[in-house]
Amino acid sequence: MKSKLKLKTAAALTFAGATLAWAGAAAAATALTLVGPINGNTVGPQSSSNPCVIAGTTCQQPASFGYNNFDATGNVSSYNMYSTTPTATVADGVQGTPYTVGQLAGAGLTIFNVAIDVNTTSAAGETLQLFEVLGRTASNLPYTVLYNYVGPTVIGGVNNNGNGYADWTLNTVSLAGLPSTEQILFHAQWNNASDGAESFFLISTAVPEPETYGLLLSGLGLMGFVVRRRRNGK
């Protein structure tokens, strides 16, 4: 009898341990891939409906979509910046007001890349230490790291610095499946910036869903049918 009880207890503990291990694995952050350097001004510009989340410069934003307009000066040894909305200057290391998934989706940002416009030309200069996408379900809960990139990686030495286009991108963030009320915050750490302000902005990479393709094809087919009828005089 005792041996059966021990076996049942051991099995229960094993199952519980496996469940906890699975839960921990499920909560692990997804690693972002840093792509670049990108030359030729091919990704962007920021001013074309690609909103900033962290930038020490004037950004062109959709309505009600703010960013951390941090106080930027040259030769700053390190930055530790969080996003915020509406637009405000949030001090180094201070968490700003989060976006919601619904707000990001409303700006067409369900699936997106994070673009980095670097302002440092020195090849041995600026280094990206960390970038994170943080999420939480309510204001009284701590943030969970949903996506991250962990450096250090030198991102200076670009030849099209500070012109509103991406010099590097972090790929790819998907908010699909998250509740619209989920709170989202962006966090970047970098150092040895020596010129003007960096900007981190979002570029949508979403493609139309199959239903959208179907409607598009149906519309094109109907248009062709109407054109043929007109040509035939019907």
> What would the pLDDT profile of 136-187 be if each residue is shown by its tens digit?
999 999 999 999 999 999 998 887 778 899 999 999 999 999 999 999 999 9
Beta bridge partners of 112: 173, 204
As a whole number, mean pLDDT of residues 4-11 equals: 47
Per the structure block, which two tokens stand in for 46?
Answer: 């920021």
- Given a cut of 50, whether residue 18 has pLDDT beyond it is no
- Given a cut of 50, whether residue 23 has pLDDT beyond it is no
CA 162/CA 118 separation, integer angstroms: 6
Q: Report CA 139 to chain centroid distance, whole Å.
A: 20
- Report the share of the chain in percent with pLDDT over 70: 76
**Local confidence band at 232 (pLDDT 50, 70, 90 cut-offs):** low
pLDDT at 26: 44
pLDDT in tens, 86-111: 999 999 999 999 999 999 999 999 99
CA 94/CA 37 separation, integer angstroms: 29
What does each C-alpha distance from 81 to 29, 53, 78, 93, 187 come to in angstroms? 19, 10, 10, 6, 6
The phi and psi torsions of 65 (rounded to 5 degrees) equal -110, 105
Per the structure block, which two tokens stand in for 2?
Answer: 């005792």
pLDDT at 129: 98
Q: Report the sign of the C-alpha dihedral through residues 170, 171, 177, 180, in that order.
A: positive
pLDDT at 223: 44
Single-letter residue type at 45: P
pLDDT in tens, 56-91: 989 999 988 999 999 887 777 899 999 999 999 999
Residue 101 CB partners (closer than 8 Å, separation 6+): 175, 178, 179, 180, 181, 182, 184
CA 206/CA 59 separation, integer angstroms: 22
- Which of 23-27, 44-48, 173-177 reaches the highest mean pLDDT? 173-177
As a whole number, mean pLDDT of residues 18-45 equals: 75
pLDDT at 17: 47
pLDDT at 27: 65
CA 75/CA 58 separation, integer angstroms: 20
Mean pLDDT over each residue of the chain, to the nearest integer: 82
Q: Mean pLDDT lowest for which of 6-20, 29-43, 61-75?
A: 6-20
Strands 30-31 and 144-154, bridge-based pairing: parallel
Q: Where are the domains of the chain?
A: 1-28, 32-227
The phi and psi torsions of 224 (rounded to 5 degrees) equal -65, -40
Higher pLDDT, 231 or 174: 174
Q: Which helix (H) or strand (E) holds 118?
A: none
Compute the residue count for the chain.
Answer: 234
pLDDT at 125: 76
What does each C-alpha distance from 208 to 78, 106, 123, 159 come to in angstroms? 40, 15, 39, 34
